[in-house]
Chains A and B, each alone.
Chain A
Amino acid sequence: QKEVEQNSGPLSVPEGAIASLNCTYSDRVSQSFFWYRQYSGKSPELIMSIYSNGDKEDGRFTAQLNKASQYVSLLIRDSQPSDSATYLCARGDSNYQLIWGAGTKLIIKP
Chain B
Amino acid sequence: GAVVSQHPSRVICKSGTSVKIECRSLDFQATTMFWYRQFPKQSLMLMATSNEGSKATYEQGVEKDKFLINHASLTLSTLTVTSAHPEDSSFYICSARDTVSYTQYFGPGTRLTVL
User: Is A71 among interface residues, defined by CB-CB distance under 8 A?
Assistant: no
Distance of A96 Cα from B102 Cα, bound (Å)? 7
Q: Which A residue's beta carbon lies closest to that of B45?
A: A100
Task: Name A97's contact: one of B49, B106, B109 (CB within 8 Å).
Answer: B49
Distance of A103 Cα from B42 Cα, bound (Å)? 10
Which A residues are in CB contact (< 8 Å) with B109?
A: 42-43
Which B residues are in CB contact (< 8 Å) with A42?
A: 108-109
Distance of A49 Cα from B102 Cα, bound (Å)? 11
- Please name the 8 residue pairs, one residue from A and one from B, whose CB atoms are nearest each other, closest first: A43-B109, A43-B106, A96-B102, A43-B93, A44-B106, A102-B43, A43-B108, A98-B104
* Interface set of B (CB-CB < 8 Å, partner A): 32, 34, 43-44, 46, 49, 91, 93, 95, 97, 102-109
Which B residues are in CB contact (< 8 Å) with A25?
A: none
Tell me whether B105 and A46 are in contact (CB under 8 A): yes
Which B residues are in CB contact (< 8 Å) with A70?
A: none
Give 15 new A-B contacts, CB below 8 A, not counting A42-B108, A44-B93, A100-B46: A32-B102, A34-B104, A43-B93, A43-B106, A43-B109, A44-B95, A46-B105, A88-B44, A92-B102, A96-B102, A97-B34, A97-B49, A98-B104, A100-B43, A103-B43
Which B residues are in CB contact (< 8 Å) with A34?
A: 103-104
Distance of A47 Cα from B92 Cα, bound (Å)? 21
Distance of A36 Cα from B46 Cα, bound (Å)? 16
- A-B contacts, 20 listed (Cβ < 8 Å): A36-B106, A42-B108, A42-B109, A43-B107, A43-B109, A44-B44, A44-B95, A44-B106, A45-B106, A46-B103, A46-B105, A46-B106, A49-B103, A88-B44, A92-B102, A96-B32, A96-B97, A96-B102, A98-B104, A100-B46
Q: Which B residue's beta carbon lies closest to that of A97?
A: B49
CB distance from B2 to the nearest CB of A (A): 8
